[in-house]
Each structure stands twice: as C-alpha cells, then as structure tokens.
Amino acid sequence: MAGKDVQNGIDELKEKLWQARRVVVLTGAGISAESGVPTFRGEGGLWRQYRAMDLATPEAFSRDPKLVWEFYNWRRELLTPLVPNPGHFALAEIERRIPEFTLITQNIDGLHQKAGSEKMLELHGNLWWVRCTGCESLVEDRRVPLPEMPACASCNALLRPHVVWFGEMLDPRILNAAYEAISNCDLMLVVGTSGTVQPAASMGVQAKRRGATVAEVNLESTPYSDIYHISISGKSGEILPRLL
C-alpha cells in the first residue's frame, strides 16, 4: 500500500474514530509483534519442531502435559522481558478518549493491560493465569518457569494454562460481552489478526452487518481486507499512534 493510500486511510479512520460514540477494537498477535512476541503464523510461531496449533489443544495436553507445559513455560520466559509497543499504548489512550470503548483481544500475553488498557475482554485467556484441572481454582501465577507438572495448592491436581485451546469453547460470558459490544458499536477497528481463528475472525463482518464502520490495520492483506470499509497496510506500532 503506497504511502498516500496509507495516509488517506488514516485520515478517513481518524475522522470516523473521533466522531464515534461506541468503539470496539479487536486485536490479534500482530499488535504484539513489534514487542518481540512471535505471531502464530509468522516464522516465529514455531517452537522446536512443533507448530503452536499442534500443542495448543486439550488432546496434546492429555497426551503429554509435560511437553505442553514446556511450550507454555517457553512462552512465559520469552514474554518476561518484553514490553508493550506504541500500538498498545495508542489503544489505551484511545480508550480514555472514547465515551464507550471495548477492547477484545485474542492475545494471551497481557501486554494490553501493561499498556493501561482496562475495558477489555480476553477471548482466549491469559498466559499468566493457571487453572486447576481438578477443582477449577483460577489463580494468577507469574513464576517463570513454573515447576514441572505444576500442582494445585489446594487439591494437588495438575494445573493447566488458563487459555482457550483449539477445539475448546470460549467462556460464554466473555463471548456474549464481545457480541454485545460488537452489535452496538459505531466503529470497529481490527488490528493485527490474520482472520484465521474462529469465532474471533467473523466479528468484523458481524459488526459491519450491524451497521458499524469497520477498519483494518494489518501488515499484510487478509481475507477481510476487501470487505471492510477501510483497510490500512502497515505496522500497528506505527499506524495507531497516528490516529491520536
């Protein structure tokens, strides 16, 4: 996308953004890429000879919980020194200026919270929280790495990462809150997601169907780039601050 088109896209999006009352933003791995977090489908998405998709499943965890915990401990170690980038901070600032704002993220890295985002929904859970496979107790545990085969403090059953694996249902309360926000927004901004994973991938189209203006900010084009009203190609860490 030539610089002029990018600037036109930004100008058009800016105008819509600052006249909107209700804004929803959906983010994916791309918004954390400039913080050094490997995206799922980029080359960084690999760990040893595994693809993230093969390990982020309940089947992988029941077959080899030790291997799956090694994968999540690797991500926890990798994330520890990383910090939010200007794209995260720009969204936190937009949240403060828009009357009704909801951030919906597919990411589990916690960088939005670190950047000051508060009105947000984590569709796929959070890497820093663990849940007991026995008593369902849910705690934030920032030890890096976690002990091998971590056990629940109260019932001693095996803990699992508090994330949504492929093939698992999303938390219905979180999903309903996301659909509520999407159904009533004036503008939806979709940032840094390849639009591969459901149900998040369909949310932009759902917003459009309900009459919202939908804009995309993404490094590459996606299956939705020609469907949304505005599509800006570039790095979210460079584009989003230009909206302020």
Instruction: Using CB under 5 A, list all residues that contact Zn ion.
Output: 132, 134-135, 137, 152, 155, 157
Task: Find out whether the peptide bond into 199 is cis, omega within 30 degrees of 0.
Answer: yes
Which residue's CB is nearer to ligand BV8, number 10 or number 56?
56
Closest CB 187 distance from ligand BV8, rounded Å: 18
Reference 117, options 240, 25, 22, 212; nearest CA is 25
Which residue's CB is nearer to Zn ion, number 1 or number 138?
138
CA distances from 97 to 20, 116, 243 (A): 11, 13, 12
8 A C-beta contact, residue 138 and residue 129:
yes
8 A C-beta contact, residue 135 and residue 155:
yes
Binders of ligand BV8 among 170-199, rule CB under 6 A? 170, 192-194, 196-199
Whether residue 124 lies in the annotated active site: yes
Residue with tokens 């009357």: 99
Q: Which of 13, 37, 108, 182 binds ligand BV8 (CB under 6 A)?
A: 108
In angstroms, the CA 116 to CA 97 distance is 13
DSSP code of residue 131 = E
Which residue's CB is nearer to Zn ion, number 112 or number 160?
160
Helix (H, G, I), strand (E, B) or coil at 79: helix
In angstroms, the CA 89 to CA 46 distance is 27
In angstroms, the CA 104 to CA 112 distance is 10
Closest CB 73 distance from ligand BV8, rounded Å: 12
Q: Which of 153, 220, 223, 244 binds ligand BV8 (CB under 6 A)?
A: 220
Q: Which of 18, 47, 50, 166 binds ligand BV8 (CB under 6 A)?
A: 166
Q: Which of 35, 73, 102, 107 binds ligand BV8 (CB under 6 A)?
A: 107
Binding mask 76-95 for ligand BV8 (x = CB under 6 A): --------------------
In angstroms, the CA 106 to CA 121 distance is 9
Per CB under 6 A, 30 contacts ligand BV8: yes
Q: Which residues are catalytic?
A: 124
Contacts with ligand BV8 by CB under 6 A lie at 28-30, 33-34, 39-42, 52, 56, 106-108, 124, 163-170, 192-194, 196-199, 218-220, 222, 235-237
